[in-house]
Structures are given as C-alpha cells and as structure tokens.
Structure 1
Amino acid sequence: MRIRTSLAIATAAGAVALGAFAVPAAQADEAPAAAKVSSFVNGVKADADAKAASRSGVKAGVTTVDGDVTIDKVTVNGNQDIVAGTSAKKTVNIYVTATDPEGIYDAAAMLWHGTSFDEDHIDGAIIPEQQEADCDNWSATSATCKITLTVDPASDLWDSALAGKWNVYAAAIGNDGDFMENDTYKNVWIKRAAQITSMNAAPEPVKKGKTITATANLSRASWSYLKYYGYGSQSVQLQFAKSGSSTYTTVKTVKTSSTGALKTTATANASGTWRFYFPKNGTTSAATSAGDYVAVN
C-alpha cells in the first residue's frame, strides 16, 4: 500500500511507483481489469505532474519529497453496500475530502477487486468515465470532491466470484502539485441482488388457531450468466405484522431448499400480513418478499 508519494518519486522514479502497472498491450486483453487500473492511475499521476509543472520555476516531476496533502475522509455510496442485479446499471458516488496548505486542485477514486494491487492479482475494476472530480473547495485549504462511477453488471461484474469485498483507491492533488494516493484507503462491499418472489400465505381467510402455510422462492443474481437462480440452504425469517401495524416480528426461521424454495407453517391467531425476510450476508443483499394479508375469523 502506498500512503504518500511525491512527484519526485512518482515520476523521476516512475519505474518503481508504476512498475506494478506496466501492462503490455499484448497482455491487456488477458488482464482487462489491470489494464483499466493502469490507465487510470497513470492518468491521475500525469495530472499531478502537470499541476506541479505549472508552478513558476518548477519543472515537471519535481516537488518536495514529503508533500503535505492529506486525504481526510472517503465515503462510498453513502456508506451503504453496493447492490447489483443482472441488467440495471448502478450509479455510485464517491466523496473524497482532502487538505493541503495551498488548497486542493483535484481528487480521484476508483474501486478494484483482487488480492493485491498489481497486474497479476487484480481481477475487477470500476473506474469513473470522467477522471476530473467535481470539487467543492469549502475552505482555502480543504475540499470535498465528488467522483461518480457507473456499475454495469454486464461489463464490470463479469463473474459472480467478484461479489463481496472490494478496495477503494483514493488520490488527492494539492494546488502546489503535492500528491497523495492510497490504493486501499478502505473497503466497500459489492453484493449480488437477492429477491423473494411468489409469496403466498393460505388459506385465506382462516379460523383463529388454525394453521396457515407460507410459500415463496429465494433467488439471487448470477453475474456470470446475468440471470436469477434459486439460492439454496439459506436461513430466511417468516415475519408477521398484526392488522393496523407496520411492525413485523419474526415468527420462525426456516431454510430454503436446494433450489431456493420456501415452505413452512404457522398458527394464525390474528388478522395481519405475512412475509419472508432474508438478511444480507457477505456476498448477497437482503431481500423482503411482498406481504400477503390473511384475515382470521
């Protein structure tokens, strides 16, 4: 992980700073995510280099070894999980707050997936279409910059194995050309969308104290095939809200079949709405079925 890099290091010693991302053109097709990261990071550093060069009396690639720009905070998607289905694109905003005594010129951010920050171990990348951020310079020294990403399941999430923990790359450039980057500033979770369909509670109506049977199906998005498939062997809660109330209580927890099917029974003691609820896990979003009202006589 690189915490702070001066332009002298990032350019004059560029072979060290960028060596992990010297992706040959012939290999770009074999490692498209790494190639995207390489292009993005090199562009960010070129932007910082150009800013330093614009200072009077300063040559490109020359600045103090210890720059004083800092990244103070990074917020991704409002600190919520990013949930992707099979087709709809998801817009994600990243806010980078940074400080430099000379003020903030620009910031950058992207998401990457892999075991380490090099071309051999990055297998997923989501970068902004526009490299320049929208910065709000709310003081002479600090700014919060907005970077917008579009998550496309058809292109960015090419395999279901990408579900789970991703890394956030963040960088900031001061008005004096000072540059800071952190390839793993924080983590964010991108999860496969889950859904519970075909909810039914029967019979309707039912006599008080009698048994109702609740059925439904739990499935989740496959990014590999861009379809929803049954999610088997998962714990799902059967919940109930009395008529006139919006508060649900968990009646019991049941497991889905190998194909994601749900079927269980419960005693009907009052009129109200029944539903199934699946809590999120490390790779899959939470899901709530539609409610089914059952009148009790």
Structure 2
Amino acid sequence: MRIRATVAAVGGALALSALVVPAAQADASAATADDYRAAVAKVRQAAAAGDARTARVDQPYPLNATFSNFKIGKAIKVGISGTYSTTVSYTLTHDADVDVTAPDFLTGPYLYRGDATLFGIEPATCTGTTATTATCTGKIDVLPAEGDLLNSDAGTWKGAALAIDYNGQDPEGFDFDITQVGYADQGGLGTTLVQRRSQLTVNATPEPVKKGATITVTGKLTRADWENTKYVGIPSGQTVKLQFRKASSSTYTDVKSITTTSGGALKTYVKAGVDGYYRFSYAGITSTVASVAAGDYVDVQ
C-alpha cells in the first residue's frame, strides 16, 4: 500500500485525525495487519485534504512524547515480490501518566522521502524501562508488488516515529471525542537506504577452449523495476568487474573492469590460460544493490 500526501505530516498533530478513525485501532491487540496500514493511509489522505491544525476545531492534543536512539539497518534491499523488512528500535520518552503497554496505545517507526512514507505492517511493541521511558521495537515492511515504491524512490530515506494514545476513546462510539486523544510525531531520527535489488548473469564461450584462444564473456546486469514488478536492464555506463577463479582455487581475482551497454548488456574478451570460472561482479550504487554472478566454468585444453 503506497502512502503519499501533498502535505507533510512529520512533527505535528496533522496526521492523527485520520489515524484514530478505524475501529480496529481502538484495541491494538485486536488490530490486524491491514488495519494498521489502512490507518496510516487515512492519515496521509487527511493531511492532503487540508491543514487540520488550522482548519479543524476538534483536534487531538499534543502528546508529551519524544523519540530517540532510533536504530535501523543501513539498507532495505527490495526486489519485485514478497515482503522486505527491517527492524527498528527506539526509545520513547513520555509523561508518567502514559501507559505504553495499554491496548489502546499505538506507536511505530516509519520512513519518509518527499511525500512518500513506508510503515510497518503492524505497530511496534514497547517495554517500559522507567516510569517515563520505554524501549520499542517495530518493523518497516515494504511490499513492492502492492505498489509501495516507485523506481524514483530508490535512495536515502529519513526515519521517524509516531505515537497515539486513545485514552479509552472508542473511535466507533457515538460519543467519541478526538480532543481526548493524544498524538506525537517526530521526524529526522535517522536515515537508511531503500535500494533496488540487482541480478547478474555470465556466459563464457567457447567451452571447451584451446589454450591461448579467445574467450568471449557475455552477461547482463538487471535490477528490480518496482513499478512493473520485473527485472529490467540497468542503464549503460555501470562499471562491472570480470573476475576469474582457477579450478584449483577458492578465490576470485579481478581481471578487468568493463561498463554496461544498452539494456545492461556486458561483453568482453580474454585469452584462455587455465581451467577455471569466470564471473561478473557489480559493486552497486546508492539506488541499486551490489550483486555477483555465479561462476561459469571453462575447460581449457
């Protein structure tokens, strides 16, 4: 579920007006995975509709809660199907009268880049460490086949976290009072990369080959196309190393560097010396994950 809004919601009460609407969110223990992400989507839809801080009379009150010690992995390496997750931990500091273990208290980490956001499928879980602090752990989950990402989203994302305290309010109840609901949202907590996975192929011919003859090594470098859920050739100009491993060795050594041509195509030539394996190795870039092809064996006669 891709979540975008034309108004940024980081750092204010703007987002909560929609987050508190789904009934299932009144009890975190009963919330399903879809409930949580759907609530997040409604947050952004509400943000896009206008500024709740000035256009609405009824607003949640600012929850006295802050987030720190935000820890996340260096990168989320995303292919074209399935779920790609990274675990996030952070410290939640709050007023003494806030019960972070209550079933109607929700918190979770998320990532943002421009007006795009990535949340977890489920809220984070917290363990109180003192009367006013808790250690929380949650996940960021990316589902490329569900439209979570555009190809242009590859790169650096910023980390954030939010908390919502329903204080016993039932969003489905007739007397639901949003002004009794507390909300906190804080951005700029850290960064991580969201990258497109890549794949490499290699084919060394002829096989077998006479010693001293020319071996042609071809291959292709592709990467995940999140918008069309398939792997496509990477643009020309990407540097890839040709590597060789003797049949009697377990170590690959660099032979030469070449660059991709149209559609990620690779082609180069070497002289046959001894039996061994040829492969291509790609170091990756900010937007694209590194990859290595499986070695292709050549019998030299």
TM range (shorter): 0.5 to 0.7
What's the counterpart of residue 4 of structure 1?
A: none
What's the counterpart of residue 176 of structure 2?
A: none
Per the TM alignment, residue 180 of structure 1 is displaced from its structure 2 partner at its CA by 6.7
1:108-147: per-residue Cα shift (whole Å, max 9, x none)?
2111221xxxxxxx1x22212333x223456777643211
Preserved CA contact (<8 Å) 1:21 1:38: no
Separation in 1, partners of 2:191, 2:215: 44
Out of 146, 151, 165, the residue aligned to residue 155 of structure 1 is 146
Number of equivalent positions? 238
Distance of aligned partners of 1:18 and 1:271 in 2 relative to their CA distance in 1, 3 Å threshold: same
What's the counterpart of residue 10 of structure 1?
A: none
SS in 2 for 1:259: helix
Separation in 1, partners of 2:246, 2:132: 55
Separation in 1, partners of 2:149, 2:107: 28
1:21-60: per-residue Cα shift (whole Å, max 9, x none)?
878xxxxxxxx9995554899xxxxxxxxxxxxxxxxxx9
Separation in 1, partners of 2:234, 2:67: 40
What's the counterpart of residue 244 of structure 1?
A: 248
Preserved CA contact (<8 Å) 2:68 2:189: no
- Superposition pairs of residues 71-86 of structure 1, within 5 angstroms: 71-76=67-72, 79-86=73-80
What's the counterpart of residue 291 of structure 2?
A: 287
Per the TM alignment, residue 17 of structure 1 is displaced from its structure 2 partner at its CA by 3.1
Letter in 2 for 1:162: D
Out of 199, 206, 211, the residue aligned to residue 208 of structure 1 is 211
Separation in 2, partners of 1:33, 1:250: 51
SS in 1 for 2:144: coil
Preserved CA contact (<8 Å) 1:237 1:277: yes
Per the TM alignment, residue 169 of structure 1 is displaced from its structure 2 partner at its CA by 0.7
Percent identity of the aligned residues? 36
* Structure 2 residue 160 is matched with structure 1 residue 169: yes
What's the counterpart of residue 53 of structure 1?
A: none
SS in 2 for 1:246: coil
SS in 1 for 2:145: coil
What's the counterpart of residue 275 of structure 1?
A: 279
1:79-126: per-residue Cα shift (whole Å, max 9, x none)?
231121222221322122456796993752111221xxxxxxx1x222
SS in 1 for 2:152: helix
Provide structure 2 residue ranges, at least 5 long, that are not aligned to the other structure.
1-10, 19-37, 48-59, 101-105, 166-181
Per the TM alignment, residue 190 of structure 1 is displaced from its structure 2 partner at its CA by 0.8
Out of 179, 182, 188, the residue aligned to residue 192 of structure 2 is 188
What's the counterpart of residue 233 of structure 2?
A: 230
SS in 2 for 1:154: helix
- Superposition pairs of residues 114-133 of structure 1, within 5 angstroms: 114=114, 122=115, 124-131=116-123, 133=124
Preserved CA contact (<8 Å) 2:15 2:43: no
Per the TM alignment, residue 163 of structure 1 is displaced from its structure 2 partner at its CA by 1.3
Provide structure 1 residue ranges, at least 5 long, that are not aligned to the other structure.
1-15, 24-31, 42-59, 115-121
- Superposition pairs of residues 30-45 of structure 1, within 5 angstroms: 35-38=41-44
| RMSD across aligned positions (CA) | 3.6
Letter in 2 for 1:235: T
Distance of aligned partners of 1:256 and 1:86 in 2 relative to their CA distance in 1, 3 Å threshold: same
Q: Calculate the TM-score normalised by the size of structure 2.
A: 0.66
SS in 2 for 1:161: helix
Per the TM alignment, residue 270 of structure 1 is displaced from its structure 2 partner at its CA by 2.6
Separation in 2, partners of 1:160, 1:270: 42
Separation in 1, partners of 2:285, 2:14: 36
Separation in 1, partners of 2:46, 2:88: 16
